[in-house]
Structure 1
Amino acid sequence: MYSEPSFKETLITWFDQHQRQMPWRETTNPYYIWISEVMLQQTQVNTVRSYYERFISDFPTIESLARADEDDVLKRWEGLGYYSRARNFHTAVKEVVEKHNGVVPDDPEAFLALKGVGPYTQAAVMSIAFDLPLATVDGNVFRVWSRLNDDTQDTALQKTRKSYEQDLLPYVQSQSGTFNQAMMELGALICTPTSPLCMFCPVQEHCEAFEKGTVLERPIKTKKQKKTLHRLQVLYVEDEAGNMLLEQRDQSLLRGMWQFPMYPVETSHADIEQEFDHHILIDEEPSFHLKHQFTHRTWDIAVYRAKVTDHHIGGNPFRHWIPCSDKKQYTFPVPMTKIFKAMQQAD
């Protein structure tokens, strides 16, 4: 094992000189730091920048977000994906108002008890905002630490995360937020998954995997769960007045968001038309196909245009006629936005 001051000081010096400029690194407001950490989970930095700036502009305080309707919050989140993050964050902020007088708690256990806060978010926010000695272990840190130590533990296992958190604990007794960010930045810029820039690594002399030639074999991680394939058909129903038919999802995935009527691909058009009291006519051939990847599933969608002959189309309470011009007022999942744009361009 290497000398803590030498390794840590070298890494932090590099970080001070080479870190990317990000708006959430220019604040000490724990609420803003929390927002950035929630957005950055499973989303690229370049995508998050504009969302973060708009979000803190629209909801500058915890109280303003707590008062907001869920639909408004989801609308600001539209395009970031993983909408459960937004719902959980919204709930957690309400808990902060109700239980902590609108102040983000600096007690790690109290913060961890909030809705949607896990060990990573706890460590990131508590260390960056309050300099508390907690180590963040995300994908970047898994990769950096496993290579530094030529570690062969399976990083997909929870026990490996706990092991790494303990290993890193001595390094976060001071400057914890800076050290955690430096480790993540090293993984993002230098110690990348493929083609790592080992010749430019500030802590190369400490890297056992570099010395042994095993850098590309680390970290070891079991394969992710295979995605399930869902074959679906979507009806794009629009009337002569420029209204489109939407339905609000009540399933757990994308709950509360708006979509065009959607069915399993094996559902016959005759059955669908019967459901609509025979007041729609569905094209025989799809207008186009679309694939969209979620974390554990893939949607393979055939998009059909349908003509409406009467607005009395059955009694589904989740379906509504909405002017196409009002689309921006409703929160659409990414695949539905793609369908809307494609069908509008085709008209």
Structure 2
Amino acid sequence: MIEWSDDKIHSFQITLLDWYDHNKRDLPWRQDHDPYHVWISEIMLQQTQVQTVIPYYERFMADFPTIEKLASADEGKLMKAWEGLGYYSRARNLQKAAKQLVDDYHGKWPKTSEALQQLAGIGPYTAGAIASIAFNQAVPAVDGNAFRVFSRLLEIDDEISQPHTRQLFEKIIGKIISKDRPGDFNQAVMDLGSSYMTAANPDSSHSPVKEFDQSFIDGIELNYPVKNKKPRPKAITYYGLVVRSSAGILMQKRPDTGILADFWTFPLVTETELLTFDGKDEFLTESDMMTALTRYFKHNYQLLLNIQPLPVKAVIHTFTHQKWTIHLLAAELSSKVNLSFFPGNWFSQQDFLDTAFPKVQQKMTERITSLDA
């Protein structure tokens, strides 16, 4: 790892901030230093690209312009506003933190990184971003951009997924960050990491800080940051039932824990669960599978379905640790059927418009909509 002198640190600060002053991205949450605006944008930007976030951020601010509005918001309206961004626990934690701020802090923001991390859903990175941008605290905001930028600048060989590595980077960047303009420094690092120092195909030869980039000088920049390869997501096969009646389409509410907790989807059954129920190692024919599904719904929910295949491609959706392949099938029921044993209800067309759905359900809906077009 390279260590810089005080003079080189000062020169780097000047170079980086001068570039940022002339080239910073014009983003709606950068129009002021309001901690609420910084917070909402940073939470939205987790796992989501900037251009995708901008319209969501603007609509969210129109719907929930203050902490108080967010704290008192109807959960259904909040989830609908978040629909499409994914990782819905982020939205739930936003509301939890807003309630903490209103109830425990009387609407006043804590100003240090340590205190900010006492709020729901705010970790070290988000706390550092809020503290530096909104309150001019000289603390680093260490995210993927910061890992990539500083590991390349200084040839830091520590593996970034290890817990101790964040602390190492926080210590190193803490010595380099501008004490006068920490918020602009952190945002400049974000912009640098998303432009010249990207993960793939970096343009380091034109980077404003190329003279400080030791890995570029040594021709090994793509070796950084050092990280272990992620394991492939576990492949899981599902059967999704599109069950219709005169009352609409049958929707199932997911359990309150696990993936897609508390969200509505078509009834889904894993192939593994169905095979276990049917006492088989595999289904030899499609007919065998549909017969097993029919018996499964009769046994578990007292619903007698006449299941038919749908002429659509399987829906494929990847989560962080799982990859779902969903085969869609059709069935019909009377709207008067007893749903007492089934964790769901009929959804009308209006219900579909009013309800927030996870991305995988949106994909399934698009598949069956294509049939009706």
Distance in 2 (alpha carbons) for counterparts of 1:318 and 1:75: 21
Q: In the alignment, does 2:356 pair up with 1:331?
A: yes
The residue aligned with 2:221 is 215
Q: In the alignment, does 2:209 pair up with 1:203?
A: yes
The residue aligned with 1:78 is 83
The residue aligned with 1:291 is 316
CA-based RMSD = 1.6
1:98 to 98, 103, 106: 103
User: Which aligned segments of 4 or more residues in structure 1 are displaced greater than 4 angstroms?
Assistant: none
Q: Show structure 1 runs of 5+ residues with no match.
A: none
Distance in 2 (alpha carbons) for counterparts of 1:161 and 1:334: 31
Cα distance, 1:196 vs. partner? 0.8
The residue aligned with 1:30 is 35
Distance in 1 (alpha carbons) for counterparts of 2:342 and 2:74: 21
Could you tell me whether the CA contact under 8 Å between 1:257 and 1:333 is conserved in 2? yes
Distance in 2 (alpha carbons) for counterparts of 1:52 and 1:190: 25
TM-score (norm 2): 0.89
1:17-59 residue CA offsets vs partner (Å, 9 max, x unmatched): 1121110011221111100000001111011001100001000
Q: In the alignment, does 2:234 pair up with 1:233?
A: no
The one-letter code of the counterpart of 1:277 is Q
The residue aligned with 2:328 is 303
1:271 to 290, 295, 317: 295
Could you tell me whether the CA contact under 8 Å between 1:280 and 1:309 is conserved in 2? no
The residue aligned with 2:283 is none
Distance in 2 (alpha carbons) for counterparts of 1:112 and 1:310: 49
- What are the equivalent positions in structure 2 for 1:128-277 lying under 5 Å apart? 128-170=133-175, 171-241=177-247, 243-250=248-255, 251-266=257-272, 267=274, 268-274=292-298, 275-277=300-302
Distance in 2 (alpha carbons) for counterparts of 1:154 and 1:213: 20
Distance in 2 (alpha carbons) for counterparts of 1:232 and 1:193: 34
The residue aligned with 2:44 is 39
Distance in 2 (alpha carbons) for counterparts of 1:165 and 1:107: 15
Cα distance, 1:316 vs. partner? 3.3
Cα distance, 1:286 vs. partner? 6.1
Distance in 2 (alpha carbons) for counterparts of 1:265 and 1:104: 49
Structure 1 residues 100 and 117 mapped into 2: Cα distance closer, same or farther (>3 Å)? same
Could you tell me whether the CA contact under 8 Å between 2:159 and 2:165 is conserved in 1? yes
Distance in 2 (alpha carbons) for counterparts of 1:317 and 1:309: 14
Distance in 2 (alpha carbons) for counterparts of 1:182 and 1:307: 57
**Larger deviation, residues 83-92 vs 165-174:** 165-174
Distance in 1 (alpha carbons) for counterparts of 2:296 and 2:338: 11
The residue aligned with 1:111 is 116
Q: Show structure 2 runs of 5+ residues with no match.
A: 275-291
Structure 1 residues 304 and 286 mapped into 2: Cα distance closer, same or farther (>3 Å)? farther
Q: Give the fraction of aligned pairs with identical amino acids, expressed as a percent.
A: 37
